[in-house]
Structure 1
Amino acid sequence: MVRPTIRQLEYIVTVADVGRIGAAAAKLHVSQPSLSAQLAEVEADLGVALFHRDRRGATPTEEGREIVRRARLILRDMADLRAAASGGGAFVGRLRLGVLPSISPYLLPNVVKRLHSDYQDLRLVVREESTRDLDEGLRSGRLDMIISTPEDHASGLATPLFKERLWAALALDDPLAKSGAAIRLDKLANRTFLTLGPQHRLSHIVAGLAGQVGGHLSDEYEGTSLDAIRAMAAAGVGVAILPEIYTKTEAQRGTDVRLRRIDVARAQRDIALVEPHRSTASQKSGALAQVLREEAAKLLSK
């Protein structure tokens, strides 16, 4: 028998996810002594300790983290293999999808609706996380794919989806709010720029724009959501820089700010579907990317 077995890999990943042997055993519907024995067998076969065990639970060792990561990838590929063998097509089983919070609430509702309608055997698990956390999730195998800015995930394989222009949200009494035309970047010279925290790629793009015209990022308020920074702009704290899909779905419904597109090539971000690196994109990512592109195009054409 080839070891570790697929079942043993499932044991390893579950213990890593749950963090306690007893809770993992209950989730796996096996006894705790049986699970402990299986883990000990794997550790003996591999010649490494997988987990630190103490009163607080079980946490992966340095070697264990790499084993857990690889185990997740193997289990994912096995699920794809079973789906192909059963004729289930691209979407069968569970897909753990990580998404930037500046995209997920605006793009995903119609995407999820289509996937649930067209692929009834798919269980989609969505996680909204920062750019940094998405990268960690993809590297560790905690996430199967992510929707993010491709330059932040060099170790993954990116399938381009769309480009988003950036827009400025201005208080109603701001002099620049009077015109409906796009704003040249130099018109924002020496202004305070509002954006998400530094763990998001959007923050770095906005910092570059601000630096180009002598502006600065607010050091009094660091937004955690696009709605929050829009509200701060409405209060006159600064100029909120917002991605296009958000402005086309949420911000334009309100009357608390005036929205103006920023007329400079750098005021944009690329969005891609990223999966663990392989020679070619998987069948699943290709099908998902097509749905994402189509739904994004509908929003961006408004």
Structure 2
Amino acid sequence: MDVLSDVLNTIRLRSKVQFCTELTAPWGFRVPPQNGHAIFYVVTRGSCYLEVEGYKDLSLVGGDFVMLMHGDAHILRDHPDSPIVPLEHLTPQCLKHDACRALHHGGGGSLTAMVTGSFIFDNPAAKPFLSTLPPVIHIPGERGQLVPWLDTTLKWMAAETTSKNPGAQIMASRLTDMLFIQILRAHIVEQAGNDCKEKAGWLRGLADASIGRAFELIHEQPDHPWTVAELASQVNMSRTAFSVRFTHLAGMPPLSYVTKWRMFKAGDLLHQGAATISEVAAAVGYESEASFSKAFKREMGVAPGTYRKEGQNGVAAGA
């Protein structure tokens, strides 16, 4: 399994389309923080302004896609001076309770249409991997039109969201999952030519050919006793150059990432509940259950057995 698939599979991503919005000027609304969610907007017609605290304001036009990776509080409006209302004041009066929920709001002027949805991360241990992703990912359209892959995905999503056919709901959800992967792919491609602006993290490391290959090796064999020297040799770099570049791109030394991924993977296996703690330890490269338990508690904040029990009870272990 490739690195991106491995991470997303372990994070346990869920997704849904929330609203098909039609907004007429003047309009504006404030969205509160959405913890554990990534929020996305696709502007299909018109234009608007997105304001996120600590991030430059974005002017969005038809064809643009934007994702707020950490669910930060934000404001959307047609003009920087337009008045705003809390989103929760709009939804009770503006939602139509059918398969495709529609949000209508505004003063009757020029129209802006958007598709809004969210991605939900069910694994509470995913935070270290999600926190390194940029707070805002913006993919501009092409001359006012959606980029082809996004246009195709959205058309499928729209068809399934309004469909009465059996399985339509899960089809729409899977298409939204696919949208998330496409967004991260596009971001990786963009970062491949940008070595200085992006925050260090695993996604940035994937954009580099040599470091990306090292990530693949770690994910392919999390139980292997990796050393910095062996990883460097596998990607045809000197030990020092590899260590420096990996740390610069990933934001942590190579073996720190190996440990972090092993514990994240172990946490997922513990939540699944089928394997014993000894079996989980072996699956992530530990011969001794005691040494695994010590490493797990240091990384995750609780012992493996406690983590498993808290996961079964719906508690975010180590939070």
Shorter-chain TM range is under 0.3
Scaled by the length of structure 1, what TM-score is found? 0.25
State the structure with bigger RCO (CA 8 A, min sep 6), 1 or 2: 1
- Greater C-alpha Rg: 1
